[in-house]
Structure 1
């Protein structure tokens, strides 16, 4: 995600970085829009590993176009195995559709197999069988679930997310992250937050003030959190726009002042400034939306992952309904 000579980290809630890749390391040149977070995702490593290897100040929160960085040399041409997008990173394979009437539903925050079955009016037993899942199976954000006989297209889900979904299967959250998530939830639980209607009004006003299409900001915010400031992901992305700590650092640079992601208005300002910055560097509105989810660096170098395509389509579908 870009801004002049600053490319800081902005990662949506649905993101978990895969385990650190093995050496050897290779040299890459930072391009406008690149961030340490998305370099880590694209190369199957962590922000800490890249920052430590390159001895970057501030944990690598500030890098600039033209800078040379060492990253793991492991081939990252394929989408990382998913168990969790903002690692946009780990991506699960899409189950095969059995017929033209089947729908592939992309799991969102708060979804359960029962919820999906109810949404598409199919039996839970049939849904589990179509996906070869047991009733006790855990599903995760970004996973593709085949819904048998549900029609040719699926409408974008707009239900309010449940806070802090369980981490994807195969990935573990560090004790430090879990502690940070718990602290974020407690802090937000004790804070006074605006209603959903008030939040929508703040998003519109903030977007208009910063030259961003209010409907686009509203659509992205809805898909990220359902316009809930108390939403917290298991990667510690918080609030309406699902702002990570490093995203807050970058947004503060964009704003020219310190922004607090726990404050609803400042959280929204952070997300809007990130959207504006993405649009300034992206080739299209669709690419900017994809960059908010997958990261602009990853989009440019790897193309859109299948779940990123669905994310963009969902944002645009919500946009059209606003």
Structure 2
């Protein structure tokens, strides 16, 4: 979410794509939970239960990993078992996802592209894979990336059903000089192109803007108030913010998306947080799916 996302009360991103509401997220059965105690931090909970902080963030759609609150219930992601099971054997040309892995690290290990794994497995949400999931690895050597990655069928259906929202995003991207596939990717990541989405952090609409962000964009960039409950205003403010970040970071997609997700101040001072990397990787893949 855009600046100042980290000033919002703890909450989560919308929907399922950490990146948004893309289809096909898989729920874990018998998913254990823990209730946050006074003084707890994600790091402490991670050490206590043996679950990486990045897993806790993704499983619970936490937008600010430095802020959890007493009484909050967190999913741990891996159901307890009475004994350590034997490792699942992967079929030839397959990989069993380990805890804490993501598509980027798996692709790098096998020397293939994330897009190739997504296409081979029909993955509709590149940032949501789970421990024990078996993935087909399409080849051991990298191949030239296609200009446009194939879009999973379930996602294609959802995209076609939201064409009116897509058109608004296209128009506003053209207005502010933002590459259309990039704007489409951010909006899909954030809300699945749905104006009715509201996150636990109070982010609203297609571009998942919080009121403080909308007010800042309206005053400093648009010169007009922004009604984030209005679809056109919401998209316009979000796309204008992307244009601001593209100019500020000289087109560096990683920093642009880090600023949108972490906040501008955090991106300026600290660069890309590790927790932001799956979000960024997912949007860059989406950009290719949308023709970028």
1:310 is displaced (CA, Å) by 1.6
Q: Which residue in the other structure is 2:228 paired with?
A: 261
1:87 aligns with 2:87: no
Task: Give RMSD over aligned pairs.
Answer: 4.3
Distance (Å, rounded) in 2 between the aligned partners of 1:219 and 1:298: 22
Structure 1 residues 4-153: aligned runs within 5 Å: 9-11=3-5, 16=10, 82=57, 84=61, 86-87=63-64, 101-103=95-97, 104=101, 145-152=130-137
RCO (CA 8 Å, sep 6+): is it higher in 1 or 2? 2
Q: Which residue in the other structure is 1:29 paired with?
A: none
1:246 aligns with 2:231: no
| Range moving further from structure 2, 287-296 or 222-231 | 287-296
1:266 is displaced (CA, Å) by 0.1
Distance (Å, rounded) in 2 between the aligned partners of 1:266 and 1:248: 9
Normalization by structure 1: what TM-score? 0.48
| Aligned partner of residue 130 in structure 2, secondary structure | strand
- Post-superposition Cα deviations, 1:154-195, rounded to whole Å, max 9, x if no partner, equal x998978xxxxxxxxxxxxxxxxxxxxxxxxxxxxxxxxxx7
Normalization by structure 2: what TM-score? 0.52
- Post-superposition Cα deviations, 1:49-68, rounded to whole Å, max 9, x if no partner, equal xxxxxxxxxxxxxxxxxxxx
1:315 aligns with 2:292: no
Change beyond 3 A, Cα 1:273–1:94: farther
Q: How many residues align?
A: 190
Distance (Å, rounded) in 2 between the aligned partners of 1:241 and 1:234: 15
Instruction: Find 1:204's aligned residue among 170, 173, 179.
Output: 170
1:88 is displaced (CA, Å) by 6.2
Q: Which residue in the other structure is 2:40 paired with?
A: none
Contact 1:293 1:308 in 2 (8 A): yes
Contact 1:220 1:315 in 2 (8 A): yes
Change beyond 3 A, Cα 1:219–1:105: same
Tell me, which stretches of 5 or more residues in structure 1 are unaligned? Answer: 2-7, 19-77, 107-119, 122-141, 161-194
Change beyond 3 A, Cα 1:15–1:295: farther
Contact 1:85 1:293 in 2 (8 A): no
Tell me, which stretches of 5 or more residues in structure 2 are unaligned? Answer: 13-52, 69-74, 79-86, 104-120, 139-149, 156-160
| Aligned partner of residue 135 in structure 2, secondary structure | coil
Distance (Å, rounded) in 2 between the aligned partners of 1:102 and 1:281: 40
1:293 aligns with 2:261: yes
